[in-house]
Structure formats: structure tokens, C-alpha cells
Amino acid sequence: MKIKTNELTGAALDWAVAKAHKGREEIRIVSKTYIFWRELSPVGFFAPSTDWAQGGPIIEREKLGVTFEAGWEVPRWSAWGAGVDEPRTETYAGDTPLEAAMRCFVASKLGDEVEVPEELV
């Protein structure tokens, strides 16, 4: 099922982040809430949209900018690709800085819509 990157949450977002890592196909869906990928996480569960130990290095490596925007009707976090090689001008919103940043990362690698397994939607 295709989902807009800016609407990805939870395990669907974590799955998309795993897919965005080039050449990585060994991702196992444990449940609607958990993704198992031992290669990226020593404990096996991969949750970069909620775990700073996993999402933080992606933000740093990809040089993503993250800021809090209070001027909206509903305050939100926004992220953008601040990398020197291919900066992106679009921003990706989220309820948390990690959610916004992981959406931005996925969009930079997979585009603004992602094909997600039905069991995660």
C-alpha cells in the first residue's frame, strides 16, 4: 500500500527507514508495532523513530536539520535535509523530532510516497 512519507508513523516509518538503507533487504515484521533487524540494532528491534540511539546517528550522518515550530495551529517538529551534497528544501513534519527527521530521511532516499506492507498499515 502506498503511503505519503509525511504520514508514516510507528512501525511503518521504522520499516521505511530500514528500507532506505541501500542494499538492506533482511527486515522482518514481528508485529504491527515492531520491526526486527539485527543488522542495524544489537537487540534486533529497530525503532529509529522513537529510539535516539538508533535515530540520532542517522540525523548526524545525513546532516538533517530539526527545529520546533510553534507558529502553527498545532505546534510541530520539522526536519529538512541540510546535507551539502543534495540539500532538500522541503520540510517533513512530525509529533517528535525523531519522527520528523526519519520522515525526511525516508523521503530523501525513497521519495514522497512509499510502498509499505499491508500488515503495517
Per-residue model confidence as pLDDT tens digits over 95-119 = 999 999 999 999 989 999 999 888 8
Domain carrying residue 72: 2-120
| Nearby residues of 40 by Cβ (< 8 Å), 6 or more positions away | 18, 21, 24, 46, 54
pTM given for the model: 0.84
- The per-residue pLDDT of the chain, averaged, comes to 83
Residue 54 clears pLDDT 80, i.e. is over it: yes
The enclosing domain of 69 has a CATH number of: 3.30.2120
Total count of domains within the chain: 1
Ranking 11-15, 37-41, 89-93, 95-99 by mean pLDDT, the lowest is 37-41
Helix-then-strand count for the chain, H and E: 3, 7
Q: Quick check: 70 pLDDT over 70?
A: yes
Of 3-7, 35-39, 83-87, minimum mean pLDDT range: 83-87
The pLDDT value given to residue 96: 96
